[in-house]
Amino acid sequence: MPVSVIVPAYNEQKTIYNLIRVLKDSGLFAEVIVINDGSKDRTAYLAKQAGAKVINQSKNLGKGEALLAGVKEAKENFLLFLDADLFNVRRKHLTDLIKPVEQGEADMMIGLQPKYKDFYALNETIPKISGQRALRREIFEAIDPKLLSGYQVEEALNDYCKTNNLKVKTIILAGLGHVSKMAKSNFLVGLWGYIKMDWQLTKIFIWVRILRVFKKIK
């Protein structure tokens, strides 16, 4: 497939090797790029050993900045974003995400974990937050980079697609595993990570709507 996979990674040595091997062994993708976002562990080494092209950032800049670096490096017009802390990734997960975009059935696909199925079913207007996305390159490049900082990138993508009447589909990725922030370090550090992520998402959710009122963004 003419698809570039971009995996932003920060201290993900426990999962990165197996994830990259699944991607490479699938034979589905033109390239697999890992953006090593200032990791202090063996993330970069293991990603390279697994067969990924590794781009090293000198310090931890954040998820959005890592994706920006990855898109600049990518050669293909179809992009697949994946978190680095996934496990139990199956070929079907990958094809279910990318095929609808390739075939023109969706402008962006968002893959959700099974444990959030009931949560999102409660209200379809709840923003779909997930690092598992397939989309056309032009969508990502159309967004002001200032809106893509950190975890804000996910809501910025959602908002751009909604504002421009693009077709977004979601899919439950049955069986997919995702390591929690608590499991990566300790409870307090993990909790702080979630608080920081939620704050960034809340901030961009409010900010894009303020900007739209003043017609600063489309």
User: Which CATH number does the domain housing residue 44 bear?
Assistant: 3.90.550.10
Angle between helices 16-26 and 91-102 (to 10 degrees): 60
**For residue range 200-214, what is the model confidence (pLDDT) as tens digits?**
556 555 655 665 656
Angstrom distances, CA of residue 172 to CA of 104, 111, 176, 184, 210:
20, 6, 9, 24, 32
Confidence of residue 124 (pLDDT cuts 50, 70, 90): low
The pair of three-digit structure tokens given for residue 24, joined into one six-digit string: 């490479």
Residues spanned by the domain of 119: 3-180
Model confidence at 178, pLDDT cuts 50, 70, 90, reads: confident
- Report yes or no on 213 lying in a domain: no
The reported pTM is 0.82
The percent of residues above 70 in pLDDT, for the chain, comes to 76
3-state DSSP assignment of residue 87:
strand
> pLDDT at residue 133 above 90?
yes
Residue 205 lies inside a defined structural domain of this protein:
no
Please tell me the distance from the alpha carbon of residue 35 to that of residue 73, in angstroms, as a whole number: 10
**Does residue 153 belong to any structural domain of this protein?**
yes
Q: How many domains does the chain have?
A: 1
> Does a structural domain hold residue 91?
yes
* Of 16, 18, 70, nearest in space to 43 by CA: 16
Q: Taking 70 as the threshold, does the pLDDT of residue 161 lie above it? A: yes
Locate tokens 């056309």: which residue?
A: 136
- Domain membership of residue 191 (yes or no) is no
